[in-house]
Amino acid sequence: MTIKINGRDLTIEDVIRVCRDGEKVEIAEDAKEAINRSRAYVEKKLEEKAIIYGLTTGFGKFANVPISFEETAELQKNLIISHTCAMGEAYPTHYVRAAMLLRSNNLSRGYSGIRLSTVQTMVDMLNAGIHPIVPEKGSVGSSGDLAPLSCIALGLIGEGMVEYKGDIVEAKEAMEKEGITPVELAAKEGLALNNGTQMMTAVGVNVLWDAMKLLKIADIAAAMTGEAQHAIRKAYDPKIHEIRGQEGQIIEAENLRNLLEGSENARPLHKTRVQDPYSQRCAPQIHGASRDAINYVYDVVSREMNAVTDNPLVFADDDEVISGGNFHGQPMALAFDFLKIAISELANVSERRIERLVNPATSEGLPAFLTKHGGLHSGYMIAQYAAASMVSENKVYDHPACVDSIPTSANQEDHVSMGTTAARTAAMVLDNAQKVLGIELSAAAQGIWLRQCMGQHGIDQLAPATRAAYEYIRTKSDPIEEDIVMLDELAKFDELVKDGEIIDVVEKITPLK
């Protein structure tokens, strides 16, 4: 199914289908009309020799420098090649594909003054799998993502390097093989291509999508740890959560109740124990707060994907070209800083549950460090260290990027968002959190197996949902009888979390919200 873009109703699910699954893209007919109408107005203004920022003037601090009509095309090309100042490792392909889609969608609204043929060329490159190489570093998030978007535009004009069918080749070579003609930029087009928030949004929407999956995996992990530690599920009683009224908390409590429905393990071993530690008892409150934050980010990102964020903007029907600041990434910077904190908290509480599993003082009778042969074997001792390391590393990345503005362009651009840094660090936090949740799933499964070995309630007494999760885990990893190379073991669980199939397995038993 082809995704039709018009700048108005692109969804997060659409973006994921295009950037990860290779779904084809098409410009809607109404969008083509809007693009053509806007371009006709720009050409009319050029004929009238109107003074318009970015068309007949320089950029940034050079806004007061006039540019002749004859130089307007050269101005746009110079803008692109001079602004390709990104550095560092290249963004993964799916981030670049998302940025190309979002940029094309932005231009499809018909407020940018670009030619339809130029937008179509970007869509053709996307559909042909020609992806410009875009280094990760160099954007301050205002005027949008100038450096990375310029790198994408560089490929559009047939310069620079691209990723094509698994190889790194010259853009001209890839375009020639696909029968795509490089763009010769016309007036306004360079500015339309590199002004905006599409790179930060491309990174952020991918992190957001995986964070939504991670919420469910965090619930599965908490439930499995609860099975291994004989958690008291009464703490998830809906009456408790309804009288607080926090939506995310209510949903999380419901998920945990459903996951543990039918469990004979989820009750205390000793009647004198009336409550669990916060990491287990308050899982609905903690996971729920992250859920509410992630839902907020979902709404902000959904709006930004269909926003017009370049400058100046062309309002042909009103006979106006207005220079404003929609390229400023502050809405996304705040959202992605919030997102990384929300993800980080899922890892924080997961590490505390891991610690309780491996600590004989708190594990409700499980062997120290989840090994039968303590002393000779270390079991999960250092797995908990690894989780602690990544949780602490996340605290460094969690520093909000948006509070660290720095002036650019000779103080013409005196406040910037750092939104791309927020998105990039959110991706780093996500990777760590996925690894920590993987360690918890591994440790919880080991704890359940040990209960069975000890003749206590174990595998046979699991809830149907957690048993499905446990049995799925055992298709990937055997119980650990003696010490093994743990890096190989933990890598399996990192992949298990990232591919998300465990969610599908569990949801065949009970739906998760």
State the catalytic residues. Answer: 53
Whether a cis peptide bond, with omega within 30° of 0, leads into 312 is yes
Host H or E run for residue 314? strand 313-315
Q: Which residues contact 96 (CB under 8 A, 6 or more apart)?
A: 131, 132, 134, 152, 163, 202
Q: What CA–CA distances, in Å, run from 468 to 73, 254, 460, 473, 506? A: 62, 18, 11, 9, 6
CA distance 9 to 349: 36
Bridge partner residues of 322 (DSSP): 313
| Closest C-alpha among 218, 233, 221, 235 to residue 263 | 233
Please name the helix (run of DSSP H) or strand (run of DSSP E) that holds residue 250, with its range, or none. helix 247-260
Contact 239/339 with Cβ under 8 angstroms?
Answer: no
C-alpha radius of gyration, the chain, whole number: 26
Among 342, 259, 346, 248, residue whose Cα is nearest residue 288? 248
d(CA 337, CA 246): 21
Structure tokens at 103: 């940029």
